[in-house]
Amino acid sequence: MAIPIGSITPAISSPVARPAAGAASSGVPAASGSFGESLSKLVNSVETTDQAANSAVAQMIDGTGDVHDAMIALQRAELTLQLTVQMRNKLVQAYQDIMRMPV
C-alpha cells in the first residue's frame, strides 16, 4: 500500500514565509502579514489533520474504514502537532533572547 506523502507537504511547508523575489535584492522586508498568515495556516492545518484523524478512527470503529488509513491519519496529525509545538518553542526562545539583549 502506497502512502500519499504529497498531502503532508503543504502542512509542513506552509509555515515558512518566503520573501518575494524583489524583496531579497532590494533589502525591503516581505509583507508584515505573511508570517501571521503562515502561523494561522499552520494552526488550521493542525485542526484539519486532527479532524481527519478523528473521522478515520470513527470509520475504522464503524467498520467502513481501514486500520491502516486510521493509523496514517493519526501519525499525520501527531507530526503536524509536533511541528507546531516546536515552532512555538523556537518563537518563545527567540523572544526571550531578544528580551535579554542589552539596550
Q: Specify the 3-state DSSP secondary structure of 32.
A: coil
pLDDT for 9 equals 41
pLDDT for 22 equals 45
Q: CB under 8 Å to 24, separation ≥6 — which residues?
A: none
Total number of domains constituting the chain? 1
Task: State the residue range of the domain holding 58.
Answer: 40-103
Identify whether 27 is part of a domain.
no
The whole-model pTM stands at: 0.62
Task: Give the whole-angstrom CA distance, residue 7 versus residue 4.
Answer: 6
Identify whether 69 is part of a domain.
yes
pLDDT for 54 equals 96
pLDDT bucket at 79, cuts 50 / 70 / 90: very high
- Distinct helix (H) and strand (E) counts, the chain: 4, 0
Identify whether 57 is part of a domain.
yes
Q: Which residue has the cell 499525520?
A: 76
Q: What is the mean pLDDT of residues 19-37?
A: 57
Q: Lowest mean pLDDT: which of 31-40, 54-63, 64-73?
A: 31-40
Residue 6 has pLDDT above 60, yes or no: no
Identify whether 64 is part of a domain.
yes
